[in-house]
């Protein structure tokens, strides 16, 4: 029937077009595409680890974010090398006003299209109820009949389960490796047993339709904490959100009360309590101690954030009191405060001012304490001498956490007594360890930085955070693709954008999300010392460097962090090194070279 290979290829191409045409007709009619079953996820841990992508807000809010999704979003995500999309939904976008049990078919077809585009471009789709019947982390004005509490009201609970039954049946033919569900967003003010019981009702309803469907359950405390009682559940993973330190990620966010009064974020921050509790909070009262070598002439500056009623900042050098300053809040800001804040507990005024003292003799330790009154918080401590100045940005705003003793090393870095870093990732690390201990698959399904945080701070923070995720084999979804947290059209005033398929791309943010090596902090970016070409490449990649000599470890990762290539080769300055990439797929890759403690990296494209 076919005379040559050309005819065969032509016929196969026509058949593919016909299949795609039939699929789109099915979606347009609001039905479920009939894709053969058999796409179960066999290793849920690996799936969570390898999934990396974005949140898309096409049906996020019925009032201002309800235009659906575009195929271009999925093609761009695929082109950039990502493979995961989370769709946070507002139930009001697909239900009749005032009746959350009546589903609007035309609105649901917009979600159908997203599922199909995900399948087409190899991007996994995760449907999330961001605003569910009876619960949302964001406030809204609802009809009286819908002003119910999911955690306590049986009507809201029945509606919540009913929505997931609807989605389960609608997409029952869509394989698990293409579509997953995330039941609810950032639960709060609910006991674990209540939350788990409601989630299990939804899970059981989903799995009665599609047993292999992967269901993500958000952790408690706004998706911060692992739920151990949900371990050993088949096809269940847990989702965490990573927005701490909150004063960095949500600086001047219009929906966060008081965020416009926060100090301008700086990075790195240190996971040290911002609180100094006084005698009125005797159960928490404790000193902050910095041990180190502080010579005569060292200047110590404390930037005070807030004072509750009254407090006394006291600084000691070894056992000597070298500074004492009393703060008393009232309706008059006076010289110490920049803003008066009256609360049900009295005045809790904002200072954001510096208070300094200079050592008149050497000291081996500095102590900071609150000698009277209620509590006060600290933004920063600056240690300055004739050779250097180091700023310690305190970031742990947890209530009731006692202060501790820390060590300042010879470089000025602040460490725990046993030498560990104090980047504010400790709570994440504990949750990751808890999940590993109980064999719970987890993924970060939201993180990001609002566009009012300085861009240079944003990039430094995201670079360290994404490296931390990679070190812990953690998949993630950035909030969001397009918008104030995203890589596209973020409307930052201090960012240079790059045109990209009609978008304004924040290239530095994109690069920060794809760390080339777990030891990223050691990487030295040398524009002229390390070059790779061609880009796009097809079968061969050439590397040129005049900074490498001798045995060099070369590694190549794809943009999701998978190690594709690793080999030791002899490098000779100014001579080309050739790497065979004939087996690579089209996409974005990162190559690094490690030699004598120096790590160089570059990004390149493969186009086949």
> Taking all residues of the chain, what is their mean pLDDT, rounded to a whole number?
88
Q: How far, in Å, CA of 405 to CA of 290, rounded?
A: 6
pLDDT tier, 599 (very low <50, low <70, confident <90, very high otherwise): confident
Which of these, 116, 131, 191, 115, lies nearest to 163 by C-alpha position? Answer: 131
In three-state secondary structure terms, 248 is helix
pLDDT of residue 37: 37
SS3 for 469-507 is: HHHCCCCEEECCCECCCCCECCCCCCCCCEEECCEEECH
Which of these, 393, 311, 301, lies nearest to 348 by C-alpha position? Answer: 311
Query: What is the dotted CATH code of the domain comprising 270-415?
Result: 2.60.120
pTM, to two decimals: 0.73
| Chain centre distance of CA 577 | 37
Q: Where exactly are the structural domains of the chain?
A: 1-30, 270-415, 520-606
Q: How far, in Å, CA of 535 to CA of 101, rounded?
A: 53
pLDDT of residue 433: 94
* 214-218, 469-473, 544-548: segment of lowest average pLDDT: 544-548
pLDDT of residue 253: 96
Q: Which CATH class is domain 520-606?
A: mainly beta
| Chain centre distance of CA 565 | 27
pLDDT of residue 603: 80
pLDDT of residue 28: 36
Give the number of other CB atoms < 10 A from CB of residue 583: 8
Examine the pLDDT at 521 and tell me if it is beyond 50: no
And the tokens for 594?
A: 């490690």
- 260 CB contacts (<8 Å, ≥6 apart)? 252
* Torsion angles phi and psi, residue 586, rounded to 5: -60, 140
Nearest 5°: CA angle at 485, between 186 and 108?
Answer: 60
SS3 for 94-129 is: CEECCEEEEECHHHHHHHHHHHHHHHHHCCEEEEEE
Examine the pLDDT at 601 and tell me if it is beyond 90: no
Alpha carbon dihedral 348, 354, 360, 363, in 10-degree steps, equals 70
pLDDT of residue 597: 64
Q: How far, in Å, CA of 242 to CA of 264, rounded?
A: 20
Give the number of other CB atoms < 10 A from CB of residue 28: 11
Question: Tens digit of pLDDT for each residue in 77-113?
Answer: 999 999 999 999 999 999 999 999 999 999 999 999 9
Question: Tens digit of pLDDT for each residue in 304-316?
Answer: 999 999 999 999 9
Question: Tens digit of pLDDT for each residue in 326-337?
Answer: 999 999 999 999
pLDDT of residue 529: 59
Domains 270-415 and 520-606 share a fold: no
């Amino acid at each position: 029937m076919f005379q040559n290979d050309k005819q065969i290829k032509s016929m196969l191409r026509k058949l593919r077009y016909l299949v795609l045409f039939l699929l789109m007709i099915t979606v347009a009619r609001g039905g479920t595409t009939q894709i053969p079953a058999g796409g179960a996820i066999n290793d849920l841990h690996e799936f969570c680890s390898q999934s990396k992508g974005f949140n898309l807000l096409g049906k996020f809010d019925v009032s201002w974010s309800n235009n659906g999704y575009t195929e271009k979003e999925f093609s761009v995500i695929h082109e950039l090398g990502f493979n995961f999309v989370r769709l946070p939904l507002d139930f009001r976008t697909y239900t009749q006003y005032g009746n959350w049990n009546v589903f609007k078919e035309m609105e649901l077809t917009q979600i159908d299209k997203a599922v199909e585009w995900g399948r087409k471009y190899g991007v996994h789709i995760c449907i999330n109820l961001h605003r569910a019947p009876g619960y949302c982390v964001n406030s809204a004005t609802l009809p009286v009949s819908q002003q119910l509490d999911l955690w306590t009201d049986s009507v809201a609970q029945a509606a919540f389960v009913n929505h997931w039954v609807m989605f389960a049946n609608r997409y029952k033919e869509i394989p698990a490796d293409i579509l997953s569900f995330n039941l609810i967003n950032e639960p709060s003010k609910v006991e674990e047993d209540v939350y788990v019981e409601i989630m299990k009702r939804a899970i059981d309803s989903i799995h009665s339709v599609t047993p292999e469907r992967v269901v993500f359950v958000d952790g408690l405390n706004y998706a911060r904490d692992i739920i151990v009682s949900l371990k050993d559940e088949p096809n269940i993973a847990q989702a965490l959100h990573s927005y701490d330190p909150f004063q960095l990620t949500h600086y001047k966010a219009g929906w966060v009360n008081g965020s416009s009064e926060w100090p301008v974020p700086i990075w790195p921050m240190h996971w040290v309590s911002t609180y100094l509790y006084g005698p009125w909070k005797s159960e928490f009262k404790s000193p902050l101690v910095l041990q180190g070598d502080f010579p005569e002439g060292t200047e110590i500056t404390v930037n005070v954030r807030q004072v509750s009623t009254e407090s006394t900042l006291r600084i000691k050098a070894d056992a000597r009191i070298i500074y004492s300053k009393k703060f008393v809040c009232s309706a008059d800001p006076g010289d110490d405060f920049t803003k008066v804040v009256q609360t049900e507990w009295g005045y809790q005024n904002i200072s954001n001012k510096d208070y300094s003292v200079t050592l008149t003799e050497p000291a081996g330790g500095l102590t900071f304490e609150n000698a009277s009154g209620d509590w006060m918080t600290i933004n920063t401590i600056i240690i300055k001498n004739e050779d250097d100045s180091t700023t310690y940005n305190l970031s742990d705003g947890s209530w009731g956490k006692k202060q501790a003793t820390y060590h300042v090393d010879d470089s000025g870095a602040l460490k725990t007594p046993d030498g560990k870093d104090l980047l504010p990732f400790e709570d994440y690390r504990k949750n990751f360890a808890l999940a590993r201990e109980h064999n719970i698959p987890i993924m970060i399904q939201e993180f990001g930085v609002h566009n009012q945080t300085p861009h240079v701070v944003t990039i430094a923070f995201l670079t360290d955070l994404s490296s931390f995720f990679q070190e812990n084999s953690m998949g993630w979804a950035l909030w969001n693709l397009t918008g104030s947290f995203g890589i596209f059209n973020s409307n930052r005033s201090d960012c240079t954008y790059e045109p990209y398929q009609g978008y304004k791309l924040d290239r530095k943010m994109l690069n920060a999300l794809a760390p080339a090596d777990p030891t990223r902090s050691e990487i030295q970016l040398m524009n002229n010392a390390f070059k790779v070409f061609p880009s796009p490449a097809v079968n061969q990649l050439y590397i040129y460097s005049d900074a490498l000599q001798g045995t060099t470890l070369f590694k190549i990762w794809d943009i999701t962090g998978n190690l594709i290539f690793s080999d030791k080769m002899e490098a000779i300055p100014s001579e080309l090194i050739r790497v065979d990439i004939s087996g690579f797929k089209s996409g974005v890759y990162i190559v690094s070279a490690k030699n004598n403690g120096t790590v160089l990296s570059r990004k390149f494209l493969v186009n086949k």
